[in-house]
Amino acid sequence: MAFMKKKKMNQIKEWIIESIIFSPIFMMVLCFFGIQNYINIWYILFALAGLCSWIISIWEWMKGKQKYKVRYLILVAIIWILFSVLCSGYPLKAFIGGKYRHSCGLTYILLMGIFLNSMTLSKESIKRLGKNLLIVSTIMCIISLLNNELTRTVFMNDYLSNTMRLKYPYHGVFYNANHYAYYLTIILFITILYFFKETRVLEKSLYLIIYYLHVYLLIINNTFGSYIAVCIGIILLIGLCWKKIKKRDIIIILILFLINSVMLQTQGKYIVRENFKIFQKDIKETINRTQKTAGTGRVTLWKRYIRIIKKSPIIGYGGENIDGNKVKLSQLDAPHNSLIELATYNGIPLTIIYLLFLSMLFLEYIKKRKNKFIELDILLIIICSYFISSFFGVIIFYTSEYYAIILGVFYKLLKENAKTGEVQNE
């Protein structure tokens, strides 16, 4: 009886994460029917997943089934968020955020719930969810590649081009190219993991094709911050996995990435080469303080927000779009840096809590390094890559939920590996 209850609970947890994984497919269906302002519908699905995750987590806490110490850090973070929101002067507005990004206390708390749910998934659920994520991403990848003017003209008739195409070219169903790049950063390394672990030639070749498609789309997407993050991730991949798997597999991954990086061009210009030129110019002009648009204006934006943080460093301003006596956040673009965003909206202490949490994960990984397996290496690389890409982006719910899932699975595997003290390679 107890086994049946546990199995049913695991199934419910899996369904919650499945709802997140398959949400882009639902958004593509909405696009098909001409509904393109679907961001609030997507947020409702996210909120339901986060709320259900919290209900299960609280129930398990009461039953004494969740004994992980991280829950105390999460409790401190929630208390601090609520304190910041209440002190904002506009608590409701601060808590629910804007209608687009929803960068607010509610979103942060829901993401914590998804993390808690993910760290209690069974190994079988994790395997199924990973493959489903690749299926969804590959479908969206193919449709995105078909979503440019040339392909619509050559391969699609007028009816299909007007009804099936997504809202933006090379964005998938995301509202911004940067957001899709964050998603691709995660998917790329999950694909690499399945490619490394697969032994059957046909399936291994299929994962390689999926990897190539996603690398191609990442570069065509032209979000250089995420491209840099993936580059760093591949360097980490070589360092962490060189002695654990066949060197041939790593070399294949590296060659395909380099081929796309060197060969892909748009409007007669090589994409990566041009981005590196701009990046080099931005660094030089930022050092010399002669450029106000470095990093597509991000450097200037960061400096402005740092000055804003100095006016309320402890409790922040409560959330996005909050106008205080001295600060008009509604008149500014988002900080486009996750650490600055947390410090602005809910104070430097919340940023410290977030960094402390990541440090705990990293130290646990280092401490158990001899006992770890390849899944932990790849998950660590995903976390590092996403964290780096977040230096240039926003905390938006429909990509951050995947990050929360990865963090939860990583935490679970760390703890289970610590208990067994053995290398697991399933």
- In 3D space, the residue among 182, 168, 164 whose CA is nearest the CA of residue 218 turns out to be 182
- Rounded CA gap, 324 and 89, in Å? 8
Reference 387, options 365, 362, 363; nearest CA is 362
Question: What is the arithmetic mean of pLDDT over 191-213?
Answer: 94
Neighbour-count burial for 245-255, b at 16+ CB within 10 Å, e otherwise: eeeebbeebee
The per-residue pLDDT for 230 is 94
Residue 249 has what pLDDT?
A: 94
* Contacts within 8 Å (CB) and 24+ apart, 70-75: 70/119, 70/357, 70/360, 70/411, 71/116, 73/353, 73/356, 73/357, 73/360, 74/112, 74/115, 74/116
The percent of residues above 70 in pLDDT, for the chain, comes to 81
pLDDT in tens, 383-412: 999 999 998 888 999 999 999 999 999 999
| Confidence grade of residue 272 (pLDDT, cut at 50, 70, 90) | confident
Q: Which of 60-69, 91-100, 301-310 has the lowest mean pLDDT?
A: 60-69
Give the pLDDT confidence score for residue 66 in this predicted structure.
64
The average pLDDT across 140-151 equals 70
Sequence length of the chain is 426
Between 370 and 93, residue with greater pLDDT? 93
Find the mean pLDDT for residues 286-311. 73
Instruction: Provide the 10 A C-beta neighbour count for residue 168.
Output: 16
Residue 254: closest CA among 244, 273, 241, 271: 241
Task: Report whether pLDDT(167) > 60.
Answer: no
3-state SS, residue 58: helix
pLDDT reported for residue 283: 67
pLDDT band per the 50, 70, 90 thresholds, residue 221: confident
Lowest model confidence (mean pLDDT) among 143-157, 198-212, 281-295:
143-157
Q: What is the pLDDT of residues 340-375, one digit of tens each?
A: 999 999 999 999 999 999 999 999 898 876 666 889
Provide the pLDDT for residue 97: 82
Q: Which residues pair with 288 in a beta bridge?
A: none
pLDDT band, very low/low/confident/very high, at 75 (cuts 50, 70, 90): very high
Which residues does residue 222 pair with via DSSP β-bridges, in sequence order?
A: none
Q: What is the pLDDT of residue 2?
A: 52
Stated pTM of the model:
0.89
Q: What pLDDT does 349 receive?
A: 95
pLDDT confidence of residue 339:
94
CA distance 85 to 80: 9
The neighbour count for residue 36, using CB atoms within 10 Å, is 14
Is residue 325 packed enough to be buried (19+ CB in 10 Å), middle (13-18) or exposed (0-12)?
exposed
Q: Of the ranges 47-61, 212-226, 261-275, 277-291, which one carries the lowest mean pLDDT score?
A: 277-291
Q: How confident is the model at residue 314 (pLDDT cuts 50, 70, 90)?
A: very high
pLDDT of residue 288: 63
Question: Which pLDDT belongs to residue 15?
Answer: 93
User: How high is the mean pLDDT of the chain?
Assistant: 83
pLDDT of residue 292: 56
Q: Which of 3-7, 187-191, 293-297 has the highest mean pLDDT?
A: 187-191
